[in-house]
Amino acid sequence: MNRIAIAGATGSIGKLIVEEAENKDLDVVALSRSTGADLLTGEGLREKLTDVDAVIDASQVGDPTADDPVSPILRGAQNLLDAAGSAKVGRLVMLSINGVQDAGLQNFPFYDARARQEKLVLDSGLTSTIVRSSQWFEFALNPAAVSVADHEVTSQDWYIQPAAAASVARYLVEAALGEHGDGVVTVCGPDAMRLPALTEAVLAHRDDARPVEIQEPPLAGLGDGTLLAPAGADLVGPTLDQWLDDLR
């Protein structure tokens, strides 16, 4: 294998995937509207996937906080699956989220969207690997769960096992190379922690003295351990302290 396509290549995780793939001397094909490939319309996808050995779908189609985040995600996913099948791509790797398999968390529309996308991938007939990732250390100040004001920061009390985004990107490229097999796999960080503690650690690293107020999450599964690594998950470093040290 030497040619890999990446949907969402210009996003925060996509850029890390591109970097990792290039470090492995892979020929990278970026799939984005700026490169002539539109997931929502399907335009340009088939042409971009010609002679591609594997495609990683790390796309973020639409707005996860919108009234309907589900339809754009599923439309983009189906267009990519159709184009990959037509181009006879050898493997499709989907970036998903650990926890989407939980019925309670599927009440969260973005998790529901990823759960439905997983089913599309599994039913597509393509050789595929679905990578359910934990939250990343970079989630520490994510507006989905953390609000920032002038004098304080409010963090929902999620219970998570975060990993470095760069480590997840590396895992996705390995999956595209067939190293993690077919079907569904899970990758998480080495240590469980509450999100407010992660937020506090990142603020302290920045010499930001704002206090962190704790808020109950909107769904029980976000805080009761559902998001921790399940049995058989692959745990990847670095630890939080090592990740913070690397930021210095």
What confidence tens digit (pLDDT) does each residue in 199-245 have? Answer: 999 999 999 999 999 999 999 999 999 999 999 999 999 999 999 99
Give the mean model confidence (pLDDT) for residues 73-95: 97
The residue-averaged pLDDT of 87-116 equals: 95
Mean pLDDT estimate for the chain: 95
- Give me the pLDDT at residue 196, please: 98
Per-residue pLDDT at 34 = 86
pLDDT in tens, 122-153: 999 999 999 999 999 999 999 999 999 999 99
On the question of pLDDT at 61 being above 90, the answer is no
The tokens for 131 are: 């990578």
- pLDDT at 2 > cutoff 70: yes
Question: Token match 């309670």: residue?
Answer: 104
- Angle among Cα 164, 110, 212 to the nearest 5 degrees reads 55
pLDDT at 66 over 70: no
Domains of the chain, earliest start first: 3-246 (3.40.50.720)
Q: Do the strands 54-57 and 91-97 form a parallel or antiparallel pair, or are they unpaired?
A: parallel
Q: What does pTM read for this prediction?
A: 0.96
pLDDT value at 48 more than 80: yes
5-33 pLDDT, tens digit per residue, is: 999 999 999 999 999 999 999 999 999 88
Give dist(CA 184, CA 132) in Å, integer: 7
* pLDDT over threshold 90, residue 103: yes
